[in-house]
Amino acid sequence: MKPIHILTAALMGLATLAHADVSKKDQEFITKAAAGGMYEVEAGKLAKTKGMSEGVKSYGDMLVNDHTAANEELKALATSKGATLPTALPADKTRKLEKIGSAKDFDKQFVKQVGQADHKTDISLFEKASKSADDADLKAFAAKTLPTLKAHKEHADGLTQQARR
């Protein structure tokens, strides 16, 4: 092998090491976080079009903006780590959106399912990753994103309180 080819092969090997695959646990977090983020964006769009109250519509807008930004950050991070991201919304999340979208009491179901239940699940996922992700950058991303998720849940709780009055 010519010296230049040996050097090229060595550099390619180093590049591969620098972009080594993430651990199975971290890949699972990336996959769940990305799917959840895509779901939140689509749910937010749905709220903007189907929401009856201005509160739900503006909440939907907030979800679209915040989750789009987080999705882009996660995508860049995952790409830099050589991790794979889902390319489409999982079927179970698509069905969930369809069910919420066809609910007679859309605003109530949207806030209950997306704002409260889904964000409770997301918070748990991100809390776990912020403490136990193998990759330091993923751990930092999860910790950085947590306050936004908690704020979304609190906002949804507030919408529920307003609806009861």
The tokens for 46 are 């749905």
Handedness of CA 137, 139, 142, 147 (dihedral sign): negative
Q: pLDDT per position in the chain (165 positions), as tens?
A: 444 444 444 444 444 344 457 999 999 999 999 999 999 999 999 999 999 999 999 999 999 999 999 999 999 999 999 999 999 999 999 999 999 999 999 999 999 999 999 999 999 999 999 999 999 999 999 999 999 999 999 999 999 877 655
- If one counts the domains in the chain, the total is 1
Give the separation between CA 85 and CA 65, rounded to whole angstroms.
Answer: 20
The 10 Å CB-count burial string (b at 16+, else e) for 134-150 is ebeebbebbeebbebbe
Q: What is the DSSP letter of 114?
A: I
Q: Which domain holds residue 138?
A: 23-164
Evaluate whether residue 96 is within a structural domain: yes
Evaluate whether residue 105 is within a structural domain: yes
Evaluate whether residue 10 is within a structural domain: no
Evaluate whether residue 5 is within a structural domain: no
- CATH number of the domain encompassing residue 46: 1.20.1260.10
